[in-house]
Chains A and B, each alone.
Chain A
Amino acid sequence: MTEAMVATSASGTLAPRRRFMLLRRLATHRSFQIGFAVVLLLALAAVFAPLLSGLDPSAMKVRARFKPPSQAYLFGTDMFGRDIFTRVLYGARVSLWVGLVVACVSGFLGAVIGILAAQFRALDALVMRLMDALMSFPAILLALGITAALGPRMESVIIALSVAYVPAGVRIVRASALVVRELDYVQAARIAGASQLRIMLRHILPNSVGPLLVHMSFVFAYSILAEAALSFLGVGVQPPTSSWGNIIAEGRDYATQAWWVMLFPGLGISLAALGLNLLGDGLRDVLDPRLKGVG
């Protein structure tokens, strides 16, 4: 496909920038389209939550307990008579925010540490053993320990999950940076008299982060799941602030009487995870063949 595009656009007057070509290929990728649409929809719903529902997510109405989904309560109400639709919308803010921040923080740290480890061999052994140690704990267990130590707050969840997901990012970036640093153009940059820092930032980093971007989209999804799990276990985001995880946790005791309490936040989690995974698949497909088509 790349070949064909190059051939057709070669006759054009202006060379399209490479970045735009990547974007165009992303835009025509089916699973990326679907994933992007799902994630965008959820994000918009979270951002415009106050417009979509006029209710207060914490407002209780004892007479309206356990109302099944209806015209008045789209997703029904919980044991305090709170509107589940509103709570799921506001919960999306927390869940998506945690996912986004964790993906960005762990991705950034992964890139920095990974590049440094690849570049400085002395650092490599130490850093990688540390990462191995972190990786030897299951992510959720590690996060559970950290949140327990830091106290159950949203910030603790973000810190805990970022720490838990950094090692994988480091490994990914280090692996591709080790390949890239031996390539001729990096050697060429050295011969041109470029400094270490310049080589790392300008030549190695941009050519090593492709796999990390894909990984970050998955970390985003994992973090939403993990935040839900932590909140469900009670060490995550605390009531009355709603997150998808603690809405499910609160609904657990009444699962047989009021299935809707758990269903809708659960659907939110599934949709977000699905959308992000589809988006990540699209990213992977577009970033991978680059090496074949261009290299």
Chain B
Amino acid sequence: MTALVSVQDLTVQFRTDRGWITAIEDVSFDIAEGDCLGMVGESGSGKSVTALSMLRLHAKGSSRIVSGRIVHAGQDLLQAEEAELRRIRGRDIAMVFQDPMSSLNPVLTICDQISETLRLHQGLSRPQARQRAIELLDLVRIPDARRRVDEYPHRLSGGMRQRVMIAIAIACRPRLLIADEPTTALDVTIQAQVLELLRELRAELGMAVLLISHDLGVIAEFARRVIVMYAGRIVEEAPVGTLFRAPRHPYTEGLMAAVPALDAGPNDEPLRLQAIPGRIPDPSEPIAGCRFGPRCRHAQASCHAAAPALVSIADGHRLRCTPRSGGSA
């Protein structure tokens, strides 16, 4: 199976007052045609940086891609010409953001904004693009599309705007849709609707989806494979069932334990929320050995000495952790 997009050893650094700090390091993963990959991690773990770097849209000047390859259709996007990249953005790889309230231009109508991509990439005429925009609004289940298409964004609710964003993203039938926290800014019922919509569109259009979220529930519901990021590195990658049933990395275990449960524990006491002790490390201070080491319950002396590599431990299951002595591994 050849990958649609293959990210290899991607390392991105940010400029700060104290010099360059590493935001993500050695991030590698593949997305196959029609795949559905989830990416979890807490804020600052490098999820969005990874996504933006894939389109080479990291902030120029204040960040740089140090190494890596992003191979799409046999071409390394990191070496591609800007003009070539522009053709790929929006046509082959599209993206949906977290905040639908600020993702639409307030001075353009919905029609204008959907048409923009269509006219740019497919050279449609104005009336054709308008017709297509209406179809797309229908496709993302916006009622009364014919009327809505001429409205300005401020007249739509958050859920509606996110649907419009999705309509724009899928306008050119991209092979890959990157959804960066697409439901975080929405309330729970709308979240479910938007996820359902994404799922249906994925099936209908056969596109691959990279869903970025810090919400394990969203990931569990949507993804087939999950990548867990911690402090700029992939710590575990596994099929969704495996990851939720038998997480192997102590950090993943901690994340699972930190999901609030509604059931009561023994003696009818409500279960206490399990937290992971400590905080994510300051990226400007290098840590010798495993990045999760200082917070890890199972850490041994060897963990602090050398950083473990990301190794494949089963089919489709990769782990960045030293085998525990006497434990499950």
Contacts and interface: CB of A to CB of B under 8 A. Distances in A.
Contacts of A293: 154
Interface in A10-36: 10, 14-15, 17-18
A4 interface: no
Given A6-B155, A15-B147, A18-B107, A193 B120 contact: yes
Interface stretch (A88-96, A152-160, A179-187, A268-276): A179-187
A61 interface: no
A129 interface: no
A184 B95 contact: no
B159 to A, nearest CB: 16
Interface stretch (A37-45, A48-56, A134-142, A201-209): A201-209
Contact of B105 (A191, A193, A203): A203
Contact of A191 (B89, B108, B150, B152): B89
B177 to A, nearest CB: 11
Closest 9 CB pairs of A and B: A193-B90, A192-B90, A294-B154, A193-B89, A184-B103, A184-B102, A193-B86, A18-B152, A185-B105
B117 interface: yes
A190 B89 contact: yes
B88 A294 contact: no
B273 to A, nearest CB: 32
A10 B155 contact: yes
A194 interface: yes
A188 interface: yes
A8 to B, nearest CB: 12
B155 A194 contact: no
Contact of B97 (A121, A188, A203, A206): A188
13 contacts: A6-B154, A6-B155, A10-B155, A17-B152, A184-B99, A185-B103, A185-B104, A194-B86, A195-B86, A202-B105, A206-B108, A290-B106, A294-B106
A295 B106 contact: yes
Interface of A: 6, 10, 14-15, 17-18, 121, 183-185, 187-195, 202-203, 206-207, 290, 293-295
B15 interface: no
Contacts of A189: 105, 116
Contacts of B88: 193
Dominant secondary structure of chain A at its interface with chain B: helix
A191 B55 contact: yes
A188 B168 contact: yes
Contacts of B64: none
A15 B151 contact: yes
A191 B90 CA distance: 6
Contacts of B97: 184, 187-188
B87 interface: yes
A18 B153 CA distance: 10
Contacts of B132: none
Chain B, interface size category, equals 35 or more
A194 B168 CA distance: 13
Nearest to B105: A185
Contacts of A295: 101-102, 106
B90 A185 contact: no
B165 interface: yes
Contacts of B326: none
Nearest to B120: A193
A192 B104 CA distance: 12
B165 A188 contact: yes
Nearest to A18: B152
Contacts of A195: 86
Given A193-B86, A294-B154, 8 more contacts: A6-B154, A15-B151, A15-B152, A190-B89, A191-B55, A206-B108, A294-B106, A294-B152
B184 to A, nearest CB: 13
Contact of A206 (B86, B91, B102, B107): B107
Contact of A183 (B89, B102, B150): B102
B61 interface: yes
B72 interface: no
